[in-house]
Structure 1
Amino acid sequence: MYRLLIVDDEERARTGIRMLIDWAAHGIEIVGEARDGAEALEIMKCTGVDILLTDIRMPVMDGLELIEHVSKSSPATKCIIMSGYDEFSYAQKAMAAGAVDYLLKPSRRQEILDLVVKITNDIAKQRQENEKLEGLRSGFRESFPFLKEYALNRLVMTENPPLERLLNNLMLSDISFPLPFFGVLVVKIDNLHLVQQKFGSADIELFKYALKNIAEETFIPICHSAAFEDNDDVVLLMNADEWLDTKQIVPYAEAIQHNAMRFLPFTVSIGIGSFDRSIRHFRVSFLEAHKALNARFYEGDAKITDYLEAAEEEDFTQTSYPLENERAVLQAIGKGDEAAIRSSLQEFLASLKPESSSKESVVNSIYALYFALYRDCIERNVNVNEVFGSGLDEIPRMMARSGLEHIMATLTETARKIADQLSARKNGNKLFESILAYVHEHFRLDISRESVAREVYVTPGYISYLFKQQLQTSFIEYLHRIRIEYASRLLRDPSLRISDIAHDSGYQDEKYFFQVFKKYTGMTPTQYRNNL
């Protein structure tokens, strides 16, 4: 509904406008009537007005003064002036003061309605445009966090970033770097792979958002800062008034760790980069902080390392892949000795010298061992889906987001699964050998899958599973083959009757014996004997 206020000092004029037109049918509501401009302003203080239809000459406050007030206090209200021919100069002044149109007195009912409806259409169009504009503003405001993340990311990850444009974009989020020194700190969630298994993706995003806030708020006392996310890590850009060394930064890094443990369900490790005067140093400092985290990968969770420690690690010579230790792991798995498996894996890890190696070199060697285990499963016909799931795809993600302790625990569990399958197969082979021996010894009797299962203390279903797994056939098919092979040998003796051969081969029904014999040989027993 559009709200209309009628202002005229003549009651008859007001009543005529109100009563002679069906305003409601056109979506218009009369919200009030006023005798002069002052009274109209009092009404407008209490209710909103979309259209103001006012006379010019009125006592106390005339129409011109009213329109001037309304144009300032309620610019969205559309004012229509009513004037006679002799007041046309007033109408011109009213238009200059802010009126949108005018009516000449006396006005016919249809003229008034047509003009007011035209104004309501204009208001509707304006509202639609305002809604679109507000939608754009809202979308733009909602995009601020993404613009902020994008700009901060490019500022650090791009070798030659468009600084002016990125800094202007950051100004929209009230982020600036006005101070002379620049450095970076990287916060990594320890064992993110385990955290992701416990919590949903929405929770993980909330945790990272909280971690960014914790990092920014913690460093308020010593520098300007802004945090963004990079591959599940939180990168904190620091802008300080003076050069900061690691000793000054470590207490604040420890505060981040403390608050993360207090408010979030995980610990964090932190890498610290160097400070320098150029804003382009953000990228250099980020690479240093990232390298510092990887360099001390062996030390486990909740650690703080800086760029100087990372530089020291570069002096160590990396060892080649330990093939002998790999063979020891595979041999321990083949024997099924859990203690030997754990010991061989620890020796494999020790041979990598992880205390003096980067995360990349250690993880690459462990990944190579995973491939060796996978290949060993293929060669030994172990069900790789039961060991590795759908494949090796998940392993790189797990290692990228986990600490060394969890990686080794997962590797040990994988080795144990392989050993269990091999052990189960060995036990299954011994059992199957005993089943075959029993069948060969008793096939001439009336035996079945169920009777054999009772003899070896397993279920009939497991008997079927073993035959399918070991011989790719069923129990009954195997039994028929043995019986028909035996019957074929007996048929070589012409002195034996076929009915006796059928009975002696385990078939009580001679007709059924003929059916089975023809199925497996393509001939009846008589035809087979005649062809010998």
Structure 2
Amino acid sequence: MYNVFIMDDEPWSREVVKALGEWEKLGLRVAGEAEDGTEGLRQIGDQLPDIVVTDMRMPGIDGAELLQALHVRHPGTKLIVMSGYDDFIYTKGAIRSRAMEYLLKPISPEDLNAALARCKEELDREAGTRSSIFASGEDVQRYAGHRARIYASLLSLDKERIAGAFESLARELASAKTSVAEAGGSSRIASDLLFMLEQFLSEQEVTLEQLLLDRGVAANGMIDTATGSVTLRSTASPQEAALAVGEIYALAVEGLLSLRQSRSRLDMEDVVAYIDAHFQDAISLETVSGQFLISREHLSRAFKARTGENLSDYIVRKRMEKARSLIAVDRLPIKHAAQLSGYEDIAYFYRVFKKHFGITPGELRKERE
């Protein structure tokens, strides 16, 4: 049975999810819930659920940042995103963080259970893949640990760390403790690890094939691109397969770092100007980093160093200042002011406004009358 964690700042919304889910039928159970993004991340780190169902807009953390944090810290967890915002930007953010499904509120039981079923099928498939490679559950767990360390090393973009992670896996595969299924074990290990790399690179908007071809890898026989996909050629043993894939990881990271360097010539004044011109739109750290073709991490650090403020906080502040002016000075209706400030969900706008200024939009209106 797989565990599910639900995150939504509205208690009634969490109750709706719990009421609509066909948990027993799907072989799932609700293991926990949270109403705050930061607290939710902490609990997820403690409980390690298999599936997370989360609202796109959560207090304490921007939606796109929440999905990215889940993706980075818990890459094996399946995500289902719910939102009252039927727009492309947030949908794209969910997809790029590998959310399994995007559900528009109010959610239907059919859509929710279909998404849950797809998550379960994917979890079953991954478990089956690992079981087909290894002879015992203990071996599966050891491989999962190595896989997680390899992924963490990939996120660091540190070639020495990557090499160390793959060498550790190769030693494990070569040891007597690990019994790799003989039939196709090498190719399945290689395919699994290459798939993980390809998923990571897809979020950087670059393909593994292109990075490797740019570095002349196809010419030296490490990969076969004749079919249009990267396929490791046959190797004598699983440990040799692991080391060969480790070389591909290192070459891909080398290419990605080179690409990022060419993209990183960035004037932060241009970023600030872009946000000032577009804060009323559905922008976030995710979308701004995509606009300037740099990583979210680099943009976040550079923006904080330049302004002394987190990018997400800066966007919220600009929106709140705009909303206050529209309500108090221009005397626009509150709903209209919210929309012009970048908020379609009025209830969410009220919560952010109250948190930012300590009073509601209506109270501000009364003060100025």
TM-score range, shorter chain: 0.3 to 0.5
Q: Which has the larger radius of gyration?
A: 1
TM-score normalised according to structure 1 size: 0.26
TM-score normalised according to structure 2 size: 0.37
